Amino acid sequence: MSRLIKWVLGIVAILVVLMVAAVVLVPMLVDVQQYKPRLEELVTKQTGRSFTMGNDIDVSVFPWVGVRLSDVRLGSPEGFTATDMVAVDQFEVRLKVMPLFSRRIEISTFALNAPKIFLERRKDGRANWEGFGKTDARDGEKKPAAEKSESKDSGLPIESLMVDSNSR
């Protein structure tokens, strides 16, 4: 029996070493900079606003799954004074690992460093924070109000929220 236990422990040890090696090596071997243009394009398309980020992109997979972006900017629509609606020196989000195995997303940290948010309403009543995404060709038509959800689930739990104004 001791021989079987040694084999099982050996296999478990090898699997643990391979998992640790993958967690350590993947962030070093994968060039996340190559995904920057695609991510900027995707966010721009989904929001209908210009989106840019700096070259400092960090991705981590252990001890948490997370991403840190620098110089993040989301533009205002055309016709508004401020070019950017939101500008953040550094944005960081960390996810809890264990809930991911059960297909749930739980945010452990959501941090904004030196955020600058420019909210503006024009004389015609339009605001730069309204109308995200693609606009409907029938802007004049009223859309029915969405039904209120009876769910008590917030949808995206955040354990820690940090906003640092960087004004020291």
Per-residue model confidence (pLDDT) at position 38: 93
Nearest 5°: phi and psi at 27? -65, -30
pLDDT tens-digit readout, 89-128: 999 999 988 888 898 888 888 899 999 999 999 999 999 9
DSSP percent split of the chain into helix, strand, coil, nearest 5: 30, 30, 45
Structure tokens at 46: 């989904």
Query: Can you tell me whether residue 137 is helix, strand or coil?
Result: coil
User: Does the pLDDT of residue 167 top 60, yes or no?
Assistant: no
Mean pLDDT of the 8-37 span: 84
Q: With a threshold of 0.85, does the pTM exceed it? A: no
Per-residue model confidence (pLDDT) at position 138: 43
- Amino acid code (one letter) for 68: R
Per-residue model confidence (pLDDT) at position 154: 52
Query: Can you tell me whether residue 90 is helix, strand or coil?
Result: strand
Least reliable range by pLDDT among 17-26, 100-109, 130-139, 147-156: 147-156
User: Does the pLDDT of residue 58 top 70, yes or no?
Assistant: yes
Going from the C-alpha of 152 to that of each of 15, 83, 111, 149, 157, the distances in angstroms are 40, 37, 25, 8, 12
- More confidently predicted of 162 and 154: 162
Residue 49 to residue 84: CA distance in whole angstroms: 9
